[in-house]
């Protein structure tokens, strides 16, 4: 059996185990049948489709696509934590980690259709495909300007990614333009088609179809470095996106009464895992964490309480660790996660959230699609 076929078989077994754990009632990404996706919808206006659904850019409404459900270190079963929102054909991408472009293509979206790109913060796993996106769009002949937004440092990051990291590619495109066939009217622009903005809390963008707002969250231990959560409001409903964060007042405000809350949950509750930094009592001690600041993350119990308190209609959980991925991924993440606790960890995550939150809980997988139709 080839390595590829072994990988595919492993992934099928993993998905079946996750399906069994959720019992078909707590659906979604961890349970990929259509029946389970329907069980997770939580209302007639909101529908969920399993991974590998196809997005229709001509469709009226709001569509949420999970373009990455994984965490910081490599996981061949999950891309870097990110998602896209499509509203009446306008494409908004939130973070641009590994596999974003490929996952967009697999649901039928050409990455050249991205109109606006928002960063929650500038950690490597949330920007790792941005440089590739930037150069690939340019050289492929994109004419429309991509508007890029993110916390302070985004402009510098973008400049470094395009002009410095890819200095050779920058000069290369200029050279091919110099010798471009004169009879071909379509050609790359003279300069990369990006308009990049450092932004802070408040309104990030507003059109006649939607509004994007952002507030600061609690992720980075250095107070001078900022992270942002986002809320998208439209006639079809509201979605909040956390990026990486501990429970924060910013996300509580952004998430109030949303139709879908997309929130990270990479940190287990104390006692769920057998080793690694995330299992240490110190990492769960609030007073000690204030004395020795660490990156902020949210545990299942904390997330369940948050979703309940903000009255979210549906909870979609992403930034999931590779607890049940391939052995090499588990080994690479061992410093933080320890050895694999086995597939039962996902049942523990869901049960911890459901202890507080009565609504639908979906453990995200790459390329899941959720839709909101117009409110009555």
d(CA 261, CA 61): 17
CATH 3.60.15.10 fits 12-372, yes or no: yes
Query: Can you give the pLDDT at residue 1?
Result: 57
Q: What does pTM read for this prediction?
A: 0.87
Give the bridge partners for 94, in sequence order: 83, 118
Q: Residue 246 corresponds to which tokens in the numbers above?
A: 């501990």
d(CA 338, CA 276): 4
**Domain residue ranges of the chain, discontinuous segments joined by +:** 12-372
**What's 200's DSSP letter?**
-
3-state secondary structure (DSSP) of residue 191: coil
Output the six-digit token pair for 235. Answer: 């006639």
pLDDT at 290: 67
pLDDT, tens digit (0-9, with 9 covering 90-100), for 338-353:
999 999 999 999 999 9
- 188 to 116, 142, 196, 330: CA distances (angstroms): 19, 7, 19, 42
Supply the DSSP symbol for 216.
E
Rounded CA-CA distance 190/186 in Å is 12
- The length of the chain is 376
> For helices 130-139 and 167-178, what crossing angle results, to 10°?
0
Cβ neighbors of 2 (< 8 A, separation 6 or more) are none
Sign of CA dihedral 74, 75, 76, 82: negative
Residue partners of 123: CB distance under 8 A and separation at least 6: 72, 244
CA–CA separation, 148 and 158 (whole Å): 9
Distance between CA atoms of residues 243 and 233, nearest Å: 17
The confidence score (pLDDT) of residue 340 equals 93
- Per-residue model confidence (pLDDT) at position 133: 97
pLDDT of residue 46: 59
> Quick check: 251 and 302 in contact, CB under 8 A?
no
Residue 195: burial class (beta carbons within 10 Å; 0-12, 13-18, 19+):
exposed
Please give the angle made by the CA atoms of 186, 191 and 197, to the nearest 5 degrees: 125
Characterize 155-188 residue by residue with b for buried, 16 or more Cβ atoms within 10 angstroms of its Cβ, and e for exposed.
eebbeebbeeebeebbeebeeeeeeeeeeeeeeb
Residues in the chain where the model's pLDDT stays below 50: 4, 18-44, 376
Task: Give the model confidence (pLDDT) of 225-265 as tens digits.
Answer: 899 999 999 999 999 999 999 899 999 999 999 999 999 99
CB 354 within 8 A of CB 26: yes
């Amino acid at each position: 059996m080839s390595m590829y076929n072994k990988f595919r078989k492993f992934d099928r077994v993993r998905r079946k185990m996750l399906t069994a754990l959720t019992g078909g009632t707590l659906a979604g990404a961890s349970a990929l049948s259509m029946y389970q996706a329907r069980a997770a919808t939580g209302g007639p206006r909101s529908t969920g489709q399993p991974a590998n659904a196809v997005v229709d850019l001509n469709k009226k409404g709001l569509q949420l696509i999970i373009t990455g459900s994984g965490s910081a270190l490599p996981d061949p079963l999950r891309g870097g934590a990110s998602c896209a929102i499509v509203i009446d054909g306008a494409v908004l991408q939130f973070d641009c980690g590994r596999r974003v472009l490929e996952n967009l293509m697999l649901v039928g979206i050409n990455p050249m259709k991205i109109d606006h790109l928002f960063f929650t913060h500038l950690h490597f796993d949330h920007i790792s495909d941005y440089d590739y996106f930037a150069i690939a769009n340019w050289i492929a002949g994109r004419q429309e300007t991509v508007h890029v937004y993110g916390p302070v440092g985004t402009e510098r990051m973008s400049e470094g990614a395009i002009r410095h990291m890819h200095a050779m590619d920058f000069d290369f495109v200029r050279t091919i333009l110099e010798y471009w066939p004169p009879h071909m009217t379509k050609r790359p622009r003279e300069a990369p088609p990006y308009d990049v903005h450092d932004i802070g809390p408040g309104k990030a963008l507003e059109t006649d179809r939607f509004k994007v707002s952002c507030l600061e969250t609690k992720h980075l231990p250095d107070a001078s470095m900022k992270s942002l959560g986002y809320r998208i409001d439209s006639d079809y409903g509201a979605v909040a996106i956390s990026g990486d964060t501990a429970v924060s007042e910013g996300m509580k405000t952004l998430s109030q009464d949303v139709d879908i809350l997309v929130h990270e949950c990479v940190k287990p509750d104390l006692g769920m895992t057998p080793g690694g930094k995330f299992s240490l009592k110190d990492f769960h001690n609030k007073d000690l964490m204030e004395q020795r600041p660490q990156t902020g993350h949210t545990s299942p119990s904390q997330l369940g309480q948050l979703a309940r308190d903000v009255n979210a209609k549906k909870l979609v959980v992403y930034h999931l660790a590779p607890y049940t991925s391939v052995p090499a991924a588990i080994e690479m993440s061992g410093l933080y996660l320890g050895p694999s606790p086995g597939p039962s960890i996902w049942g523990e995550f869901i049960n911890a959230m459901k202890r507080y939150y009565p609504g639908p809980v979906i453990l995200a997988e790459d390329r899941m699609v959720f839709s909101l139709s117009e409110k009555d």
